[in-house]
Structure 1
């Protein structure tokens, strides 16, 4: 059922006209607030956002364009017809949910409530292969932490499909606080199952080697 609904395609090869030249990977850090990065983000060929990170009301700082949104069922939001839905499958039920939102709409519970249906273009659905996630965990993070964060997976995905990768909205604010730009409160999101230290070190090295350009919002 999965492959009949979402047939496999060679999306981004070097010779393809859809080859990505410039890409913005937009995280959800509070360091985007007041950054005025919106126009710079929207000028990129691809703009990859993750989970529920909104644009409405934050356009000046985060832009309005979204070509790809990386989600799992518990973080799903509606998307317009220009956006690719990229699913991070952590369990079999995630794949079943993906089928369900376009067909029977009967799955509304995983370990928490999930939306039984979302607005999205089924012709723009992509699924990150678990082997790719395993490769990121083992090769890029040396198996540190429980599993890679959505942001880190999105960044490595971008490195594989785009020539130039710019990174926005990762890391803490200037004051060292970890929170989302769309939250009204501060919460430490550097803990949990991800190894924020290892991910941050890899991102720093990639920036120093000019493989990516990192925009911190306050430098």
Structure 2
């Protein structure tokens, strides 16, 4: 093991199954994919952090002034892998130093049973041998569900909800980082306030879905929704006892 490195047992390397081993980060930027990032000019501040965590296919190209350029770790949903494959020159050639951590249901992610997403990740690794790809272990996926139940009192599956990539990223950040700075994420009460500015759900998909409409629709969906607002309530609770700082003004005094 490298000097000062820790072993993160919940993350399994493709294809050999070894755990993620790396030094803990002193300061992490967790960068939201939200339209709140547009015009923020936070890029320089984000790039000054020791480690930068991004999600899914959120690009930096063309948005450097607002979101920065550095990508230490990218947490990716199994559903977003095809979107990364559409832009291989950016994700796997330019950003080859980035560690990719992929989550998804075990039927798709199983190494032993050759799940569909796992097989695609294996092919990616063969095409780009220097790529660092990890998957969440079955135990880690179960742990993330348990944390949701402890914090909300609701069983994730029975309540018909899916955890978001943001949830998995925050859980990883709490393990990996001594201090977490969250950029562009609104508070749990933001979308219920009158006169909040409308922004796109993703900063790189302008003119498409409205962020708050998306959050509220998911929160109310009887089945198959992400509970974005519930998750943010949990994050605000964690911030009281852990070293988590939210840069968006909606968290001030929260």
Q: TM-score per shorter chain, which class? A: 0.7 to 0.9
| Superposed CA RMSD | 2.6
Match of residue 130 from structure 2: 121
The answer on 1:54 being equivalent to 2:59 is: yes
Decide which moves more: 190-199 or 152-161.
190-199
Q: Would you say the 8 A contact 2:121–2:133 is kept in 1?
A: no
The answer on 1:85 being equivalent to 2:100 is: yes
Using the TM superposition, give the Cα deviation of residue 197 of structure 1 relative to its aligned residue in structure 2, in angstroms: 2.4
Q: Would you say the 8 A contact 2:75–2:168 is kept in 1?
A: no
After the TM superposition, which parts of structure 1 deviate over 6 Å for at least 4 consecutive aligned residues? none
Structure 2's unaligned 5+ residue stretches are 1-11, 85-90, 109-114, 219-223
Q: Deviations over 1:27-69 (max 9, x none)?
A: 2111111111111111111111111101111111111000111
Q: Which of the residues 148, 159, 175 maps onto 1:160? A: 175
Decide which moves more: 135-144 or 51-60.
135-144
Q: Which has the higher contact order (CA 8 A, sep 6+)?
A: 1
Q: Alpha carbons of 1:24 and 1:43: their partners in 2 closer, same or farther (altered >3 Å)? A: same
Q: Which of the residues 142, 145, 166 maps onto 1:151? A: 166
- Within a 5 Å distance, the mapping from 1:1-219 to structure 2 comes to 5-12=15-22, 18-76=23-81, 77=84, 78-79=91-92, 80-90=95-105, 91=108, 92-103=115-126, 121-122=130-131, 124-141=132-149, 142=152, 143-144=155-156, 146-171=161-186, 174-175=196-197, 177=199, 179-187=201-209, 188-190=213-215, 191=218, 193-216=225-248
Q: Would you say the 8 A contact 2:13–2:134 is kept in 1?
A: no
Distance 1:4 1:204 in 2: 34
Q: Alpha carbons of 1:149 and 1:10: their partners in 2 closer, same or farther (altered >3 Å)? A: closer
Distance 1:210 1:88 in 2: 24
Using the TM superposition, give the Cα deviation of residue 131 of structure 1 relative to its aligned residue in structure 2, in angstroms: 2.0
Q: Would you say the 8 A contact 1:32–1:62 is kept in 2?
A: yes
Using the TM superposition, give the Cα deviation of residue 159 of structure 1 relative to its aligned residue in structure 2, in angstroms: 0.4
Please give the TM-score of this superposition, normalised by the length of structure 2.
Answer: 0.68
Q: Would you say the 8 A contact 1:85–1:120 is kept in 2?
A: no
Q: Would you say the 8 A contact 2:31–2:52 is kept in 1?
A: yes
